[in-house]
A and B are shown apart, each in its own frame.
Chain A
Amino acid sequence: MKILTFFSLFSTFLSANSINVEENAGQFFSSGHTNNWAVLVCTSRFWFNYRHVANTLSVYRSVKRLGIPDSHIVLMLADDMACNHRNPKPATVFSHKNMELNVYGDDVEVDYRGYEVTVENFLRVLTGRLPPSTPRSKRLLSDDRSNILIYLTGHGGNGFLKFQDSEEISNVELADAFEQMWQKRRYNELLFIIDTCQGASMYERFYSPNLMALASSQVGEDSLSHQPDLAIGVHLMDRYTFYLLEFLEDIHPASKANMKDLFKVCPKSQCVSTPGHRTDLFLRDPGSALITDFFGSVRKVEITMETINLTDLIKEAEQNPMNEKPQKVTYSYVDQLPVSEIIHQKPKQKDWHPPDGFILGLWTLILLVFFKTYGIKHLKHIF
């Protein structure tokens, strides 16, 4: 009896599992991506911007730990911290004070270093327009099934990000670059994280589908630094990335944490600035997007002892008669210049300022002098 019940339970379990496996087989590509890429950019140089390099290297470390290999990571750093003459601990970049965690080492592969980190190179990497001599390690060889993580950090302002003290990238340029990527089918979904002052202004202008964006502070707010280290003499990390790193340390490749947890990272009490996010262009529900969809490279492997029947006869593709028009699949593209949207766009709610006093005064003065000189009675000769 017992054996019977046990056997029946076991068979039910197996059948349930087999149904599961079938379902799982169907769910294999529910997220739609097959490979992961990461573009990590630190846009500052000089010793007092140590924390930006530490930010980027911490994210690099997490992303590598969760599975994305170096060949799929494009790392752009000025890389002048570890061997800086002012570094009391040469060849290290620490991300925790009291030197707990060294994120530099000989397994860090920097693809664009020093003065190669420019706006032009960044945009060329994103859009794929690189000269033929560029090595593979410097290219973003993504396809339309790639999920890409883009992380930017540095000094920024309302609508721009400063690259190495000499140039800027604006939010419009960035939005257009992403649109080019979409039209060239270079990504499936893209997660954009930015940790700068007024970072939310950088994702305001996005208009391509399947973009999700996170920023460390709103327009008008500064992102603050964290982890002052007295021995090294600089701040080691920025607040947002520090708490992001702490959050990511709890993620492992099999973790089911989703994007909604990521939005909760670093609330105002910890970050002092208000982090923001944008999901309206993302076609899936953010709750169904896993962290590892972007930060890790999770191979979908299910080990099963079941046999799955894949032995449907392969039918030869029938020769379409010449007179029949082949079925054309039309792709729909987003309008390159959404003129109607621009025209009908509601103006941003800016604070109303009274007209500039100086201009007013100047015109009043001019008018006064005019009337004084020519007299009111001469008006009729003029008009």
Chain B
Amino acid sequence: MGLLSDPNRRRALISLLTRLNAPICVVCYMAGVAWFMGLAFEPFTLRTYMSENAMGSTMVEERFPAGERALATGREFSAHKKKVGGMPVDWLVKTMQARGLEVFTQRFSRTLPFPDENKERYLVKGTNVYGILRAPRAPRTEALVLSAPCTPGDNNNQAVGLLLGLAQYFRNQVYWAKDIIFLVNEHDLIGMQAWLEGYHHTNTTGMDWSPLQGRGGSIQAALSLELSSDVITSLDLVLEGLNGQLPNLDLANLFYAFCQKIGVLCTIQGKLQRNDWDSVSGYSHSVQTMMLMVMKQASGRPWGDHGLFLRYHIEAATIKGINSFRQYKSDTTTIGRLLEGMYRKLNNLLERLHQSYFFYLMPSLSHFVSIGYYMPAFGLLAVILLLRALDLWVQLATPPPRTEDGVADTDTLIKSAPSQMSSPGVLSVLTPLVISHLTGVEVAVEHFPVSETEAVVLTAIAIYTAGLALPHNTHRLLSGEGTEQGWKVLKLVAVLYLAVLLGCTALINFSLGFILALTLVPVAAFVTPHVPKILSAFILVILSPACTLLFSVFFFQELQEMPVSFIDGWMLFLSVISQGILDHSLYGSLVYPLIALLVYPCWLLFWNILFWK
């Protein structure tokens, strides 16, 4: 007989599975974590290389001369900004027109669901100004975007100045095959969202904007510039976008190649590259860089103005100028040359960037790990859930051993056991599921009559904690006592549900999926009604999504070498929740709804199983 159809062999296999289940799960978990940590080890990574043939090497002559003039323009911009007390729209329009661009403006307004305390805004009104440099000989079918945000105060003036300087230089060249759009957006991400929605004729977030009067072709690539000092010591590249989406790796490769050619120091996550990968400190440096990227990607928020372009399949990145205490400084002309080189190479593109990876992790700017290498780490964690599900299935299929007396017939019992299994099974499973999801919906879809951030966030946490009292209530709805089979069926369903949920999350946003898996998989694996209640209740709460978020906040601050005290950490945690809700309503970020609607109910199911009577 066959391997699986021979009952003896099947029994042997199944007993192997049930006997060794716990050890295999532990081994898989350790292997998954070890694999993930090993990703930052340099021999396991690949060097970055240009995949797009059309972009080729950095063989281009950069001749941008006007760094000083750009700085003067930036100072003018800052003066006008102070005078107007916001965005100097008229001055910008006049300056761009003087440089020979076709200038248009766009007004937008938006009322936030509750005041944003980080940026201190509630009723947002603004104007975007953009100028289009038409390609001299090409049809207007493709475009590139260079943008600089207009922020209040003294920030980003040099960025706008450099943008205008580059616009003037680019206008004098004949080799542009695509239109170049120079965009100055107000209220950073909100303005950018309004512009992108207007450009692509979509309206996904309910913002109010005036339609765009002028347009280029379809945008092939975009760069956002943040520069707040006259000289810089290094340039930082920011890649993470909305919902953890990343631009094509070729854009990062292009940036790195030009940094090396021009001789500017370039960093990612603000961390410089080190050459000593075989020492402990070198390895921990790479791990820190990679973990910063994982944290930023898991949060699902756009970390620069470029983050919103990615949803429209436009490869975009943000370049930040950093002025630290190093001795060797680069001036604005050098930055201008770097951008000129990058734009000339992007000009050579014939199709959108698609040759290189879209899913990757970067432990440093010159090394990367692609999806094929990092997915097995998550796979090993998901296997634990599947093993547990198999174990439960086997236990449910075999009838329980008869230890009591006074039972009529083993045959009739065996016959009636399946029918007994199904009816309490469905009812006892469905009830906690429905109630958990309703709680989740409560958390997610609050209407906010109270316009106070703290009130909103604390309400969310309150509902979350109230869900912990569920088990004592669900049992009142059940007809009879919950049986031994009942919790097993519930756990089987819950484990499979969690596996599917985490799998789908990891495909879209690997970092989020992996972090949730790290905490939720042990929960799913070990929770039964028979483990010691107090201790496991405590562990369950520690490993719940909200506490994971709290710990992540502290961990993130540690990685950035800005550790915070507990009180500050708690305030940060509250602001993270409120930012999550705001991101969802402003830009359509999916992290908050995912956690509230799907992950939290799933965790509640396990909480229910723990308190099964």
Chain A: residues with CB nearer than 8 A to chain B?
46-48, 83-88, 90, 228-231, 233-235, 369, 372-373
B54 within 8 A of A: yes
Q: Do B348 and A230 touch (CB < 8 A)?
A: no
Q: Which residue, A86, A235, A372, has most C-beta atoms of chain B within 10 A?
A: A86
For A83, list chain B residues within 8 Å (CB).
137
Q: B134-176 toward A: CB 8 Å interface, digit per residue (1/0)?
A: 0111100000000000000000000000000000000001111
A241 to B36, CA, bound (A): 50
B2 within 8 A of A: yes
Chain B residue nearest to A230 (CB atoms) is B61
Q: Do A87 and B175 touch (CB < 8 A)?
A: yes
Q: Do B60 and A230 touch (CB < 8 A)?
A: yes
CB distance from A364 to the nearest CB of B (A): 16
From A84, A86, A228, A372, B59 is in contact (CB under 8 Å) with A228
Q: Do A373 and B59 touch (CB < 8 A)?
A: no
B344 within 8 A of A: yes
Instruction: Say what secondary structure dominates the interface of chain A.
Output: loop
Q: B312-355 toward A: CB 8 Å interface, digit per residue (1/0)?
A: 00000000000000000000000000000000100110100000
Chain B residue nearest to A84 (CB atoms) is B177
Q: Are A233 and B344 also in contact (CB < 8 A) when A48-B53, A86-B175 are?
A: yes
From A46, A228, A229, B350 is in contact (CB under 8 Å) with A46
A48 to B173, CA, bound (A): 19
B534 within 8 A of A: no
A324 to B54, CA, bound (A): 72
Q: Do B137 and A233 touch (CB < 8 A)?
A: no
Chain A residue nearest to B53 (CB atoms) is A48
* B: contact size bracket: 20 to 34
Chain A residue nearest to B6 (CB atoms) is A373
Q: Do A373 and B175 touch (CB < 8 A)?
A: no
Q: A47-B54, A48-B53, A85-B135 are in contact. List 7 more A-B contacts (CB 8 A).
A: A46-B350, A48-B54, A83-B137, A85-B138, A87-B175, A233-B344, A373-B2
Chain B: residues with CB nearer than 8 A to chain A?
1-3, 53-54, 56, 59-61, 135-138, 173-177, 344, 347-348, 350
For A86, list chain B residues within 8 Å (CB).
175, 177, 347-348
From A90, A231, A372, B174 is in contact (CB under 8 Å) with A90
Q: Do B3 and A369 touch (CB < 8 A)?
A: yes
CB distance from B224 to the nearest CB of A (A): 24
CB distance from A78 to the nearest CB of B (A): 13
CB distance from A43 to the nearest CB of B (A): 16
Q: Do A88 and B173 touch (CB < 8 A)?
A: yes
For B56, list chain A residues within 8 Å (CB).
48, 234
A234 to B138, CA, bound (A): 19
A85 to B134, CA, bound (A): 12
A372 to B9, CA, bound (A): 12
Chain A residue nearest to B62 (CB atoms) is A230
Chain A residue nearest to B173 (CB atoms) is A88
A sample of 30 inter-chain contacts (CB < 8 A) reads A46-B54, A47-B348, A47-B350, A48-B53, A48-B54, A48-B56, A48-B348, A83-B137, A85-B137, A85-B175, A85-B177, A86-B175, A86-B177, A86-B348, A88-B173, A90-B137, A90-B174, A229-B59, A230-B59, A230-B60, A230-B61, A231-B61, A233-B60, A233-B61, A233-B175, A233-B348, A234-B56, A235-B59, A369-B3, A373-B2
A90 to B174, CA, bound (A): 9
CB distance from A184 to the nearest CB of B (A): 40
Q: Which residue, A48, A83, A87, has most C-beta atoms of chain B within 10 A?
A: A48
A372 to B6, CA, bound (A): 12
A85 to B135, CA, bound (A): 8
For A87, list chain B residues within 8 Å (CB).
175
Q: Are A88 and B3 also in contact (CB < 8 A) when A47-B54, A230-B60 are?
A: no
For B3, list chain A residues within 8 Å (CB).
369, 372-373
A306 to B137, CA, bound (A): 64
A369 to B2, CA, bound (A): 8
A356 to B136, CA, bound (A): 56
For B2, list chain A residues within 8 Å (CB).
373
CB distance from A154 to the nearest CB of B (A): 14
Q: Are A88 and B174 also in contact (CB < 8 A) when A369-B3, A373-B2 are?
A: yes
For A230, list chain B residues within 8 Å (CB).
59-61
A234 to B344, CA, bound (A): 11
For B137, list chain A residues within 8 Å (CB).
83, 85, 90
For A235, list chain B residues within 8 Å (CB).
59
Q: Do A88 and B175 touch (CB < 8 A)?
A: yes
Chain B residue nearest to A88 (CB atoms) is B175
For B54, list chain A residues within 8 Å (CB).
46-48
CB distance from B135 to the nearest CB of A (A): 6
CB distance from A50 to the nearest CB of B (A): 11
A250 to B347, CA, bound (A): 39
For B177, list chain A residues within 8 Å (CB).
84-86
Q: Do B347 and A373 touch (CB < 8 A)?
A: no
A88 to B135, CA, bound (A): 12
For B61, list chain A residues within 8 Å (CB).
230-231, 233
8 cross-chain pairs, A with B, having the tightest CB-CB distances, nearest first: A85-B177, A230-B61, A85-B138, A88-B175, A233-B60, A85-B137, A86-B177, A228-B59
A210 to B350, CA, bound (A): 43
Q: Are A233 and B59 also in contact (CB < 8 A) when A85-B138, A86-B175 are?
A: yes
A87 to B348, CA, bound (A): 10
From B1, B59, B173, B176, A234 is in contact (CB under 8 Å) with B59
A369 to B54, CA, bound (A): 51
Chain A residue nearest to B56 (CB atoms) is A48
A234 to B348, CA, bound (A): 10
Q: Which residue, B1, B135, B350, has most C-beta atoms of chain A within 10 A?
A: B350
Chain A residue nearest to B177 (CB atoms) is A85
A234 to B56, CA, bound (A): 9
A241 to B54, CA, bound (A): 22
CB distance from B474 to the nearest CB of A (A): 48
Q: Are A85 and B176 also in contact (CB < 8 A) when A90-B137, A233-B344 are?
A: yes
For B344, list chain A residues within 8 Å (CB).
233
For A90, list chain B residues within 8 Å (CB).
137, 174
A369 to B6, CA, bound (A): 13
CB distance from A287 to the nearest CB of B (A): 41
